[in-house]
Homo-oligomer: A and B are copies of this chain.
Amino acid sequence: MSTPVYFDCDTGIDDALALAYLVAQPHADLRGIGTVSGNVDAAQAARNTLDLLAVLGRDDVPVAVGEHDFLTHPYDGGAPHVHGANGIGGARLEAADRTVDGRSAAQLLVDLAHQHPGALRVVAVGPLTNLARALELEPRLPGLVASVTVMGGAALAPGNVSPVAEANIANDPEAAQAVVSAGWPVTLVPLDVTMAHVLEQAHLDRLAAAGQEAPRVLASMLGQYFEFYRDIFGRACSAMHDPLAVAVALGTAVPDAAPRVPVVVDTGDGPGRGQTICDLRGRYRGLADHPEATCRVVLSLGTDFAEDLTRALTAPVAATAAAGA
């Protein structure tokens, strides 16, 4: 049984890996992609996405350019120190032989939700501006989608752009608050779990040595990312933020601990701005789901996701898809 998916991204090196992982899943039916400013601006993210989809043999997937600016403040230039000036670590992809969908990302999401009522899985791995705009556009949206999985936030782990805030949420806290409070089933995949699943040099070497084009292209992006993480981890490696969100959304990674708890985003102007405040006070007696809460927070995953990801990206099925490009 195939699962219709809308993917919202700010491609981005780990977004690129997430997209490749997503199209490698036989049961996922990727129906559309919206881009948003974050790692790079929304237009550059769309270019990167189109070009990468060509490598992946998926020129059939519509790509819509989403919000350039955030709900209450302008885009400020992204994270070239993390993802490189072009967002994909300086990798030069052949320009795709097509252009973007004419709709906004928010409109594409709303349209897909109506086409697949109750079935669409939304996976968002950038700032949540497009999702917030879609909620404005179609107030019935929460009742139309099956699930919303977000790479973002930090529950009990430190943040990455402030002591308590993670970049996707910190870029647009107001949008994030709209998304976590909309009443639809949200799963947060925060730094607590993404920083615990790291791609090492040996994984990168396997991607680079693969027979197919796609993993080799991804490997060519990862040098920049590995260097950025040298300061964080004390060695060249990289967190797998966005691919892990895709895996959780599709059920190919099953968390050990993912309690459903109250979540609120700090939208003030103080030192906590952009923090995802998750109520985990129950942890001393064992974390149970709060009956009223609509957000799951993934805290840990017992499986070896870096290995699973490397296998998926170098598997024959990915090769077949790439060969079709």
| Chain A contacts to B: CB under 8 angstroms | 156-160, 163-164, 195, 231-234, 262, 264, 266-272, 275, 277-281, 283-286
Contact present for A158 and B156 (CB under 8 Å): yes
Closest to A266 in B: B272
Smallest beta-carbon distance A36→chain B, Å:
25
Least CB distance, A225 to chain B, in whole angstroms:
15
Chain B residues positioned under 8 Å from A163 (CB to CB): 262, 277-281
Please tell me which one of the listed residues B270, B278, B286 contacts residue A270 in the complex, with CB atoms under 8 A apart. B270
Residue pair A270, B271 in contact (C-beta under 8 Å): no
Choice from B232, B267, B286 contacting A285 with Cβ under 8 Å: B232
Q: How far is the CA of A156 from the CA of B192 in the complex (A)?
A: 11
**Chain A contact residues: helix, strand, loop or mixed:** loop
Expressed in whole angstroms, the minimum distance between the Cβ of A167 and any Cβ of chain B is 12
- CA–CA, A160 and B282, complex, Å: 10
The answer to whether B158 and A279 have CB atoms under 8 Å apart is yes
Whether B234 contacts A286 by the Cβ 8 Å rule is yes
> Across the interface, which residues of B come within 8 angstroms of A232, CB to CB?
281, 284-285
Cβ-defined contact, A158 with B281, below 8 A? yes
Give the chain B neighbours of A286 by CB distance below 8 A: 234
Task: Write 9 A-B pairs (CB below 8 A) sorted by A numbering.
Answer: A156-B158, A158-B279, A159-B281, A163-B262, A163-B279, A163-B280, A163-B281, A234-B286, A266-B270
Are B266 and A267 interface neighbours, CB within 8 A? no
Task: Name the B residues within 8 Å of A164 (CB-CB).
Answer: 272, 275, 277
A283 to B270, CA, bound (A): 23
Most buried by B among A156, A158, A233, A275: A158
Quote the shortest CB–CB distance from A170 to chain B (angstroms). Answer: 13
Cα distance, A112 to B232, chains bound together (Å): 44
Is the pair B272, A268 in contact by a Cβ cutoff of 8 Å?
Answer: yes
A284/B160 contact (C-beta < 8 A), A268-B270, A270-B266 known = no
Alpha-carbon gap, A231 to B262, bound state (A):
18
- Which residues of B lie under 8 Å from residue A284 when comparing CB positions? 195, 232-234
Given contacts A157-B156, A158-B156, contact A277 B285 (CB under 8 A): no
Interface centre among A232, A266, A278, A280 (most CB of B within 10 A): A266
